[in-house]
Amino acid sequence: MNEAVTRGAGATLPRNRMEGAGSGLALVMDELAHGVLVASANGQLMHANQAARYELARREVLSVDDGHLHTADARQSRILVQALARAESGRRSLIALRSGDEAHLSIALVPLRSDNADATPTIALVFSRASVCDALMLCFFARTHGLTPMEEQVLGILCQGYSTPVIAGQLGVAVSTIRSHVRSMCSKTHSHGVRALVGKLAVLPPLGMPRLHEPLH
């Protein structure tokens, strides 16, 4: 007989189905553009999805050594340790970790509750995305709305925060050409201006491009 676990008010779910659901959830997490990892209150890494493994393998803002999370310097370490302590006490928070002048990473820390009072407290760390819209969803959006390859390229640069004149300079075309592409994209996507257009990409499902599994050192 399958061992059952409680779910909700009196409902039960066989343990083997729970384990299967957990495995499926891990696969879903690997599809996200957001890095997500689970750690203990002392910074021991317990799980990381594909996007988080990629970020950790870069070893810029956050890395893993001897199974524990490490930051770029002592000041960043204090920020992370304090946030983990807040999460251990049940409080959520948002921190910004840096490495040098350029590399930075915003992380939301969320305490994960368990029905088992004896279980080790765990904390989810959710990373910010590198851009407003990942290349995969930009491609899907362009196909859905019938954008041309040039319009898709212009939209991708718009999502990086560049202005029309800057985009024109990058692509070596007239500013009027870029404005024409923007008008066409707004018409095809029923958007009232660039802000609304970029906003539609910002709220798309956060799916990321498949990445090769990187070692965490």
The pLDDT tens digits of the residues spanning 138-161 come to 999 999 999 999 999 999 999 999
| E strand or H helix that includes residue 53 | helix 50-58
Residue-wise pLDDT tens digits, 58-95:
999 999 999 999 999 999 999 999 999 999 999 999 99
Contact (Cβ atoms closer than 8 angstroms) between residue 207 and residue 148: no
- On the question of pLDDT at 177 being above 80, the answer is yes
User: Residue 192 sits in which domain range?
Assistant: 135-202
Of 71, 105, 127, the last residue of a domain is 127
CATH number at residue 28: 3.30.450.20
Give pTM, 2 decimals. 0.76
Residue 20 confidence (pLDDT): 54
The region, left, alpha or beta by phi > 0 then psi within -120 to 50, assigned to residue 100 is left
C-alpha pair distances (Å), 54 with each of 48, 86, 127: 9, 26, 12
Q: What is the CA radius of gyration of the chain?
A: 21
Residue 181 confidence (pLDDT): 97
Q: Quick one: 59 and 119 in the same domain?
A: yes
Contact (Cβ atoms closer than 8 angstroms) between residue 57 and residue 213: no
